[in-house]
Amino acid sequence: MQKSPNHRLADRVLWALGRASLQSQRLVRQHMLEAGVRTQHYHVMASLDGDGEAAQATLADRIGLDRSDLVNVLDELEEVGYVARRVDPDDRRRKIVAITAAGRKQLVAMDRLIYAAEDELLAPLTAAERKVLLGLLSRVSGE
């Protein structure tokens, strides 16, 4: 990503946060691509692992993915055994999606890719600076 030191907003926090966010997303995509996985796969499995199984429509809403796009992602994940779908006994038109044991194992491997991207992004910072940055970002995000 090219630097824009002369950009009219270069001295504003929102501009710097936006650029850092773009850089972090680029690094995560790069690490995932090099490992042959997709960020959409991560979002699906992380949601299923963290928030539990869900109907496909609910899952799509949870992760902000178009429902028809989610079907394709689920097809890919089911084919490699990372998720399982079953018919909802209360509404046979709906499918319930759950992460499998293999999916949880893959999720841990994908977490490591994200950690590597974070390490690359934050390489210029000391451990103490990283801790301060995380604290500040948590405060401004209301967490």
* pLDDT in 10s for each residue of the chain, 143 residues: 555 567 777 778 888 899 999 999 999 999 999 999 999 999 999 999 999 999 999 999 999 999 999 999 999 999 999 999 999 988 888 999 999 999 999 999 999 999 999 999 999 999 999 999 999 999 998 87
pLDDT of residue 125: 96
Q: Could you give the strand order of the β-sheet that contains 83-88, starting from the edge strand earlier in sequence?
A: 54-55, 91-99, 83-88
Distance (Å, whole) CA 54 – CA 61:
10
Q: Mapping DSSP to helix (H, G, I), strand (E, B) and coil, where does residue 57 land?
A: helix
The DSSP output letter for 82 is S
Pull the structure tokens for residue 72: 């394709």
Quick one: pLDDT at residue 11?
78
Contact predicate 129/136, CB 8 Å: no
Residue spans of beta strands (DSSP E) within 24-81: 54-55
What would the two tokens of residue 111 be?
A: 């977490």
Q: According to the model, what pLDDT value does residue 5 have?
A: 63
Q: What is the pTM of this model?
A: 0.83
What does the alpha-carbon distance between residue 128 and residue 106 come to, in Å, rounded to a whole number?
31
pLDDT score at 56: 94
Please name which of 94, 46, 91 lies closest in space to residue 73, comparing C-alpha atoms: 46
